[in-house]
Amino acid sequence: MSSNNRSHKAELVIERLGKKLNRQIVGSLAACVHCGMCTDSCHYVLANPDDPTYAPAYKADKIRKVFKKHYDWTGKVLPDWVGAKSLYTDEELEELRDIVFGKCTNCRRCSINCPMGVDFATFNRMTRGLLVNVGIMPEGVAVVSKDQWEIGNQMGVLKEDYIDTVEWMSDELVDEVNDPKAAIPIDKEDAKVVYSINPREVKYDPRTIADAAKIFYAAGEDWTMPSEGWDMTNFGLFSGDDDLGGAVGRRLYEKVEQLDGKKLVISECGHGYRSTRCEAQNWGQTDVNFKMESSVETMLDYIKEGRIKVDKAKNDSSYTYHDSCNFARSCGMTEEPRELLNLVVDDFREMYPNRGENYCCTGGGGAMSMSEYTPQRLKSAKVKADQLAATGAKFVVTSCHNCVDGLSDLIKHYKLDMEVTQLVNLVADALIIEEKVPVVEEVAPVEVPAEAVEEAPAEVLNGYSFLVTDDEPDMVVFLSTVLEDNGATVFKAHNGDEAMDIARKEKIDLMTLDIHMPGKSGREVFEEFRNDDDLKDVPICIITGRPELRSLIYDRPVPPPEGYMDKPVSEDDLIKNMKKILKVRS
């Protein structure tokens, strides 16, 4: 405690608040007339109509009172009248943390609905930064921030794992299109396009890398992926840490400059696009000498310019589009994704409200990494679930990896009959590529026995032992059958205790694990494996739709799972994921 009875951290927060005040922030802090017009624009309020503590103006006042007390003349002259109040203890800072991280996704929907121009999301973000600066933040925010500061990406993906995944996707694509020219170029200098991605793609969704590569290949693009500085996401936007934001941006920009790339293309990610394209130059006090665009624009141009051909009949389901808050509301990217979507699907159904007025996926602002607030996040997702259900579509398309996770969680929670996908997947699925037929010398026909004509199934998992753990018998049958059909030996467990017993007796190369099981939960089984000297190295792929999974990925009480998949699981995705985890190349 300092002499005025204020804790060291509270003192630092107040001091730094003064340094963060600029015209925009002061305007927002001073202008609120408490008219309440923003109240119903917030998804937290809609889910908690009887709880005033969720109202944007109420949350804002928790920060505003400190500003009034220390930096505004009204607080000096009429402190009681304007509600000026200081901060004294670390407990008060922790309460503030639970508001700015736990009760707001920084979606900016209230900001655009305020007639006085109050941008609450901006000073909510600033307050997050003040708390992070003194070490007060949710555990997941700390884990992810440290990864991005030190490893250079939000998910702690090591360079060798990134390269391995990109090379693996490259090999698969070369095989698929039967053309060595389809290989993904890494660190190619002077390329027209440098492609940056979200670490989630490397870790849990490599198909998006392969799909993007297929599109670049089909367009005949001169492109590359950097070996370092490839993460276009930026946790600084979420944590409010401008220094992190600047450091991440500069790392990415530096790599493009080092490769002498002409254009940086940012894969589909709302906050990644906003940070990289619009904010990080300011945070990092730097300029860039190359063009930057979203992959949505790149794909759209390819179709419009005739560089790729698509057949929308290949995407024959029904689709709606979710506008990411950062992509649409903050960056105005509302028409390009719709134009592209209409070029690759027939049945597009608009969601209401949409574009700048759309509701948050409720996983924004880094909420996916803050597992302590999961129940209130999912509760606040009711309005989004209603919006989705009203479209009647089978797929919700979004141009944001964060939204993919946020929407997946709420779809499971509200039991909607819907899947999430991205434009890159739909464009790749709709592509028309003429397969290269290898030139073979004519040879005399040889008589082949009839039974040998049918191609033998490639048993890619031959020699590997799996433990499938799930309480749903149908799921156990489905997973085991697919794995066995691909040559694997499969042990089956229907609950956690059975899984532990089998794992102790048999040699297991990989376990698939459901989270929600009666008795010992999947989470307990997972932690028991990780804390057991004999089992801690067994790779685990969580197969679930439960949001509890996020805390294993972000809080990391023990090393995170090697893979995860959302139910329902397709045969193709299951094998792809198993091969990735086991590093099996076909």
Partner 1 sequence: MSDTLNINNSVVDLVKGDYTDMEIESIVYYAQNDLKLGSGFGNAISMRGGPSIQDELNKFGEAETTDVVVTAGGELKTRHILHAVGPKFQEEYLSDKLKKTIHNCLKKAEEKGIKTIAFPPMGCGFYGVALEVSADIMFKTFEEYLSGDTSIEKIVICLNDNREFIPFHERLNKNS
CB of 32 to ligand SF4, least distance (A): 3
Looking at beta carbons only, is 133 or 298 nearer to partner 1? 133
Query: According to the binding rule CB under 8 A, does residue 151 interact with partner 1?
Result: yes
| Element of type H or E holding 489 | strand 489-493
| Element of type H or E holding 203 | helix 199-203
What's the DSSP call for residue 367?
Answer: G
- Nearest-angstrom CA–CA distance, 553 and 98: 21
Per-residue tokens: 288: 């860039």
> Which of 107, 423, 428, 582 contacts ligand SF4 by CB under 6 A?
107
120 binds, among partner 1, ligand SF4, none (CB under 5 to 8 A by kind): ligand SF4
Number of residues that bind partner 1 (CB under 8 A): 30
110 binds, among partner 1, ligand SF4, none (CB under 5 to 8 A by kind): ligand SF4
Query: According to the binding rule CB under 6 A, does residue 118 interact with ligand SF4?
Result: yes
> Which of 72, 92, 119, 147 contacts partner 1 by CB under 8 A?
147
> Which of 110, 256, 490, 542 contacts ligand SF4 by CB under 6 A?
110
> Which of 31, 158, 458, 477 contacts partner 1 by CB under 8 A?
158
Q: Which stretch binds partner 1 (CB under 8 A): 102-110, 142-150, 273-281, 358-366?
A: 142-150
Looking at beta carbons only, is 155 or 308 nearer to partner 1? 155
| Element of type H or E holding 494 | none
> Which of 105, 124, 145, 294 contacts partner 1 by CB under 8 A?
145
> Which of 62, 64, 250, 413 contacts partner 1 by CB under 8 A?
250
What's the DSSP call for residue 323?
Answer: P
> Which of 436, 504, 536, 585 contacts partner 1 by CB under 8 A?
536
Looking at beta carbons only, is 97 or 250 nearer to partner 1? 250
SS3 124: helix
Query: According to the binding rule CB under 6 A, does residue 108 interact with ligand SF4?
Result: yes
- Bridge-based pairing of strands 489-493 and 510-513 is unpaired
CB of 107 to ligand SF4, least distance (A): 3
Q: Which stretch binds ligand SF4 (CB under 6 A): 34-42, 245-253, 277-285, 383-391?
A: 34-42
Q: Check: CB of residue 510 under 8 Å from CB of residue 539.
A: yes
Query: According to the binding rule CB under 8 A, does residue 355 interact with partner 1?
Result: no
Looking at beta carbons only, is 135 or 306 nearer to partner 1? 135
Query: According to the binding rule CB under 8 A, does residue 12 interact with partner 1?
Result: yes
392 Cβ neighbours under 8 A, 6+ residues apart: 318, 349
573 Cβ neighbours under 8 A, 6+ residues apart: 207, 565
Q: Which stretch binds ligand SF4 (CB under 6 A): 15-23, 27-35, 216-224, 463-471?
A: 27-35
> Which of 34, 76, 146, 585 contacts partner 1 by CB under 8 A?
146
- Nearest-angstrom CA–CA distance, 398 and 361: 10
CB of 371 to ligand SF4, least distance (A): 18
- Nearest-angstrom CA–CA distance, 231 and 152: 7
Looking at beta carbons only, is 211 or 231 nearer to partner 1? 231
- Bridge-based pairing of strands 419-421 and 489-493 is unpaired
What's the DSSP call for residue 279?
Answer: I
22 Cβ neighbours under 8 A, 6+ residues apart: none
* Encoded amino acid at 144, one letter: V
Query: According to the binding rule CB under 8 A, does residue 199 interact with partner 1?
Result: no
Query: According to the binding rule CB under 8 A, does residue 247 interact with partner 1?
Result: yes
Closest CA to 550 of 561, 537, 540: 561
How long is the chain?
586
* Exposed / middle / buried, residue 440 (Cβ in 10 Å: 0-12, 13-18, 19+): exposed
> Which of 116, 134, 416, 569 contacts ligand SF4 by CB under 6 A?
116
Tell which positions 119-158 bind ligand SF4, by CB under 6 A. 120-121
Closest CA to 575 of 481, 491, 473: 481
Per-residue tokens: 151: 């490893």
581 binds, among partner 1, ligand SF4, none (CB under 5 to 8 A by kind): none
Q: Check: CB of residue 325 under 8 Å from CB of residue 272.
A: no
Q: Check: CB of residue 529 under 8 Å from CB of residue 536.
A: yes
Looking at beta carbons only, is 107 or 483 nearer to ligand SF4? 107
297 Cβ neighbours under 8 A, 6+ residues apart: 336
Contact positions toward partner 1, by CB under 8 A? 8, 12, 133-135, 142-147, 149-152, 156, 158-159, 229, 243-244, 247, 250-251, 254, 284, 536-537, 556, 559
